[in-house]
Copies of this chain bind each other. A is one copy, B any other.
Amino acid sequence: MQSYKAPLMDIKFLFNDVFDYYGHYQKYPEFEDATPDLVDAIFVECAKFCENELLPLNQTGDKEGCTFDNGKVITPKGFKEAYNLYVEGGWQSLSHPIEHGGQGMPPSLGMAKAEMMGTANWSWAMYPGLSHGAMNTVQSHGTKAQKELYLTKLTEGTWTGTMCLTEPQCGTDLGQVKTKAEPNGDGTYNISGTKIFISAGEHDLTDNIIHIVLARLPGAPKGTRGISLFIVPKMQVDQSGNIGEFNNVSCGSIEDKMGIKASATAVLNFDNAKGVLIGPENKGLECMFTFMNTARVGTALQGVCASELAYQNSLLYAKERLSMRSLTGKKCPDKVADPIIVHPDVRKMLMTQKAFSEGGRAMIYYTAKLVDDIEMAKNEDERKAADDRLGFITPILKAFLTEVGTESANHGLQIFGGHGYIKEWGMEQIVRDVRISTLYEGTTGIQALDLLGRKILLTHGRSLKDFTKEVLLFCKDKSMLSKNPHKRQMNKFIWPLSKGVANWQQYSIRLALKAKKNRDVVGSASVDYLMYSGYIVMAYFWAQMAQSAYEKLAGDVENRDFYRSKIKTAEFYFDRILPRTKSLAATMMADPKTLMQLDEELLSFL
């Protein structure tokens, strides 16, 4: 019963008008093929694949789930066929380097593809999606031989890959990793240990799975400084890439989860499985962190996907379901009642979903440009500038967009009333599926510590200063004092945005000073601070979209309603969503005392 149409007009608006993506692509000769015509054609084909092949498997996949049978995992009906189509269509290789079988399209294009796939069927999209982590690892840290052996197959999609980090005793705190790697003396290692929560850790879509595994070498230092990375295939592979013996990576079970049921979450037992070291000894975590940001932005996307799918479906329902009359008088006197979209509270939920979907999409596509810049940078300064920006904005995207995406999914369920709670309609699935997004790839709490602790305090606010400089420059450029022809209309956005940014800077400084006296200030303020930052950042993108829309409307453009809708949604965002910062400002500045003063034993008297 779920329906989905890829929001191509919105994606093109971001590509063409808001972020000048084609100007951006032209900076890099590698991307000369990424012309508007080709990109548009890719979008259209991708939309078809997602709407026609992936969406129909979303609810059936949830219902059927994965089956575990004596170490084997059977994915839901249709998953393998869709995967084959995906590989045949060259989708997996789209935005990977040509030298290993990729098509050399920009990574940012991969993000648009990921959005459509993830909205149509997040669980399915995780199988090819997880490969990107493994591919990035091999690409960045692998030897030439490792790249030739593994990267090509991963790029084609012949094999998939995983990231094996978590163990039963540790997820966030990877310093506790126990999995061992014993050298065999021939350049290979015997890997032994148990990894849990391994997405796509076992499945029937491909003949082999390449695991990237965190493990400890003998005598390695304790904690995070003694962890190395290994490539451990499920099936052994000879030098030519032929599959050999089983490599003792066995799937002990798959998890019975709240959602993303069609995505297999495996317990993997490594029992003297043969692996090779990738990257330097004991530098496994550093190596992983080089593309942690990209993985996290990929998870942030799940929030946008859930919001979009929930929005599309609840909008259709709100136009059809008849209940009560508008308080301002009958809107459909010929019907037994008015459609619920006439009720302001339903409209509020819909507008909130719209604001989060489109605002979140803008935040993602802005960030995707940074990923292009990092990969293509011609010198270290350029690379570092883009990397710093990415590192700053990533925790905001990951935590904020998954939190508001979860909210949006819940609005969708709520708009359906009791029917939202019934599986048939597919709305409760969206809520269950998206609920994982604030947990994996670092919980909201971890993202918040990363933002406030590492990205703000540790850099003495440098990244924040750089970013707010960009925002304030935009404000100045569009303000009443500028030559912006739309400055009068933009004033309603520029003023609160400037004020919000100024407060953001102020609060950051005040928190930094407080944190010097009491380190618990960081953890006590961090999540509220992150959400505060998220609302300000999203306001910046809504202001940019409004400006672009005014510019389009000033010309002789088609689809004028589209741009009007943008502006009015921006107004809604500034009026109804941005004021959430008021409460967050109050709570993040509150003394940690009231949080921490209660002894553990005093929390319960049972």
A interface list, Cβ under 8 A from B: 5-7, 9-10, 166, 169-173, 175-176, 197, 255-259, 312, 315, 319, 322-324, 326-328, 336-337, 341, 343-348, 350-351, 354, 410, 413-414, 417-418, 420-424, 428, 431-432, 435-436, 438-440, 443-445, 448-449, 453, 518-520, 522-524, 526-527, 559, 561-562, 564-565, 568-569, 571-572, 575-576, 579-584, 586-587, 590-592, 594-598, 600-606
CB distance from A274 to the nearest CB of B (A): 28
Contact of A323 among B173, B344, B424, B568 (CB under 8 A): B173
Q: Which of B176, B414, B440, B523 contacts A443 (CB 8 A)?
A: B414
Known A562-B605, A605-B561: A345·B527 in contact at CB below 8 Å: yes
CB of A418 within 8 A of CB of B445, answer: no
Residue from A6, A166, A258, A432 whose CB has the most chain B CB atoms within 10 Å: A258
Residue in chain B with minimal CB distance to A3: B606
CA distance A351 to B602 in the complex (A): 11
- Shortest beta-carbon distance from A461 to chain B in Å: 18
Who on chain B is nearest to A346 by CB? B445
Q: Would you call B344 and A524 a contact (CB within 8 A)?
A: yes
Complex Cα distance, B343 from A592, in Å, reads: 11
- Provided the pairs A351-B595, A595-B348, A605-B562 are in contact, do residues A579 and B568 lie with their beta carbons within 8 angstroms? no
Report Cα–Cα, A590/B601, bound state, in Å. 44
Whether B257 pairs with A312 at a CB distance below 8 angstroms is: no
Count of identical protomers in the assembly: 2
What are 24 contact pairs spanning A and B, CB under 8 A? A172-B324, A173-B324, A197-B418, A255-B422, A257-B422, A258-B422, A258-B432, A312-B604, A327-B520, A344-B596, A345-B526, A346-B445, A350-B603, A351-B594, A354-B603, A414-B444, A428-B435, A561-B602, A561-B605, A565-B598, A569-B598, A571-B594, A572-B594, A576-B594
Give bound CA distance, A443 to B571, whole Å. Answer: 27
In the bound assembly, the distance between CA atoms of A288 and B136 in angstroms comes to 63
Interface pairs A-B: 10 shortest CB-CB = A344-B523, A579-B586, A258-B428, A5-B606, A344-B524, A583-B583, A327-B519, A173-B323, A345-B445, A582-B582
A328-B519, A414-B444 in contact; A424/B579 too (CB < 8 A)?
Answer: no
- Cα separation A336 to B174 with both chains bound (whole Å): 12
Is B423 within 8 A of A258, CB to CB? yes
Partner pick for A344 among B6, B256, B520, B571, CB 8 A cutoff:
B520
Collect the chain B residues with CB atoms within 8 Å of residue A346's CB. Answer: 445
Interchain nearest-CB distance for A557 vs B (Å): 13
> Closest CB-CB distance, A310 to chain B, in whole Å?
13
Q: A176-B336, A600-B319 are in contact. Are A345 and B572 (CB under 8 A)?
A: no
User: CB distance A568 to B417 under 8 Å?
Assistant: no
Point out the residues of chain B lying under 8 angstroms from A323, CB to CB.
170-173, 176
Residues of B within 8 A of A166 (CB): 418
Q: Which of A322, A323, A564, A601 has the most CB of B within 10 A?
A: A323
Judge whether A522 and B327 touch: CB under 8 Å: yes
Nearest chain B residue, comparing its CB with the CB of A321 = B169
**A604 touching B315, Cβ below 8 Å:** yes
**Shortest CB–CB separation between residue A146 and chain B, in angstroms?**
29
A7 to B605, CA, bound (A): 7
Which B residues are in CB contact (< 8 Å) with A561? Answer: 601-602, 605
Nearest residue in B to A583 (C-beta to C-beta)? B583
Question: Chain B contacts of A432 at CB under 8 A?
Answer: 258, 432
In the bound complex, residues from chain B placing their C-beta under 8 Å from that of A591 are 575
Q: How far apart are the CA atoms of A186 and B325 in the complex, in Å? A: 38
Residue of B nearest to A438 (CB): B414
Instruction: Name the residue on B nearest A63 (C-beta).
Output: B256
List the B side residues contacting A603 at CB < 8 Å: 315, 350, 354, 565
C-alpha spacing A561/B606, complex, angstroms: 13
Residues of B within 8 A of A258 (CB): 413, 421-423, 428, 431-432
